[in-house]
Amino acid sequence: MGLNSTPSSERIHIAFFGKRNAGKSSLVNAVTGQNISVVSEIKGTTTDPVYKSMELLPAGPVMIIDTPGFDDSGYLGEMRIKKAGQVLRKTDIAVLVVSSEEGLSDEDRTIKSLLESKKIPYITVYSKSDLTGTPIPELNPANEIQVSSSSGHNITELKTMIAALADRDKNERKILGDIISPSDIAVLVVPVDEAAPKGRLILPQQMVIREILDKKAVPVITQPETFSQVISCLIQKPRIVITDSQAFGEISARTPEDIPLTSFSILMANYKGVLRQAVSGLKAIDRLKNGDRILISEGCTHHRQCGDIGLSLIHI
């Protein structure tokens, strides 16, 4: 990854869904201006999601995803639908591609209600406008548009619509939310131990520092050993202390009662929208009885180390 590149998880994910042959891949190629997806008149051409990162101003870095058609049948069809479903889980903004010739189908309506129930903002694109004589009447200019990937009709307008939605989505997604105001001090506890990656900070730490600076507030960064020294030196009371989870107990004991304390993991869980679920999981611990079986799983790709959260839990 280059110094200036944005990690994939931080790019706004824009996925193109639709029935087979709706024109998804042609549209992805038209929007990205590149031939990244295979196009053919054979239904079911795209069998695996295709990813392409690009800049979409004013939103910035985004990830464009082409998906297999979701109206497929048979074993391979089920696999394709499953893959489209997996993409849906990481989709921030959806583009529902519907052929202008065929119009909205029951499958398209199912996808629409799924997107609405998951609160994923979406645009309905009627493709292949060059094949129909008259434009579709009464389209909602906010989230519906008719385009042609072949002639380029309305492709720039579609990009503008997607970028506007993506920009709105980006501005709504903040790791610190409204916790920090200008001139506030936030004390960040960042242990540099064997678990820390060499020569850099991990993503939640980078995101928090950047957001504090964006807010014109002041990040004060320390390791656990120097935490008390930092707290006693500060004339202005910190607005918040944010610690690495592994030092939580130690830092909690040394943080004055009137200063709120949280961890990078808690902020990240909130940012990813899973905090409520995690808290309800925690409450289940109170209901555990002797002999209950507990599954502990850590979804991380790094190799196991002593002191990993999963391993610490096993020792409880």
Footprint of Mg ion (CB under 5 A): 24-25, 45-46
* From candidates 12, 31, 39, 242, binder to ligand GTP by CB under 6 A: 39
CB of 224 to Mg ion, least distance (A): 51
User: Considering the rule CB under 6 A, would residue 20 count as an interface residue with ligand GTP?
Assistant: yes
CB nearer ligand GTP, residue 104 or residue 202: 104
Detail the DSSP E strand segments found in the chain. Answer: 12-18, 50-56, 60-66, 93-99, 122-127, 144-146, 185-189, 218-222, 240-243, 261-263
* From candidates 11, 14, 17, 18, binder to ligand GTP by CB under 6 A: 18
* From candidates 149, 154, 255, 263, binder to ligand GTP by CB under 6 A: 149
Q: Residue 307: beta bridge partners?
A: none
Residue 23 Ramachandran class (φ > 0 left, ψ -120 to 50 alpha, else beta): left
- For residue 59, give the nearest of 167, 152, 176, 162 by alpha carbon: 167
CB nearer ligand GTP, residue 103 or residue 249: 103
CB of 300 to ligand GTP, least distance (A): 33
**Residue 168: HSE in the Cβ half-sphere, 13 Å Cα cutoff:** 9
Interaction mask 255-294, ligand GTP, x per CB under 6 A: ----------------------------------------
CB nearer ligand GTP, residue 131 or residue 300: 131
CB nearer ligand GTP, residue 24 or residue 170: 24
Describe the strand order of the beta sheet including 12-18 as a list of residue ranges: 50-56, 60-66, 12-18, 93-99, 122-127, 144-146
Stretch that binds ligand GTP, among 127-135, 198-206, 219-227, 229-237 (CB under 6 A): 127-135
- For residue 221, give the nearest of 239, 209, 232 by alpha carbon: 209
- Rounded CA-CA distance 108/113 in Å is 9
20 binds, among ligand GTP, Mg ion, none (CB under 5 to 8 A by kind): ligand GTP
Contact set for ligand GTP, span 62-91 (CB under 6 A): 68-69
Stretch that binds ligand GTP, among 41-49, 156-164, 252-260, 276-284 (CB under 6 A): 41-49
User: Considering the rule CB under 6 A, would residue 146 count as an interface residue with ligand GTP?
Assistant: no
Peptide bond into 191 cis (omega under 30): no
* From candidates 124, 127, 154, 255, binder to ligand GTP by CB under 6 A: 127
CB of 253 to Mg ion, least distance (A): 57
User: Considering the rule CB under 6 A, would residue 45 count as an interface residue with ligand GTP?
Assistant: yes
Written as six digits, the tokens of 236 are 């202005």
CB of 66 to ligand GTP, least distance (A): 7
Buried b (16+ CB within 10 A) or exposed e, 74-94: eeebeebbebbeebbeebbbb
- For residue 50, give the nearest of 27, 71, 73 by alpha carbon: 27
CB of 11 to ligand GTP, least distance (A): 22
- For residue 111, give the nearest of 131, 97, 128 by alpha carbon: 97
Stretch that binds ligand GTP, among 34-42, 137-145, 172-180, 231-239 (CB under 6 A): 34-42
* From candidates 131, 192, 234, 274, binder to ligand GTP by CB under 6 A: 131
Residue 51, burial from CB neighbour count under 10 angstroms (0-12, 13-18, 19+): middle
Written as six digits, the tokens of 280 are 């309800």
Residue 251, burial from CB neighbour count under 10 angstroms (0-12, 13-18, 19+): buried
Q: By the criterion CB under 6 A, which residues form the site for ligand GTP? A: 18, 20-26, 39-41, 43-46, 68-69, 127-128, 130-131, 148-150
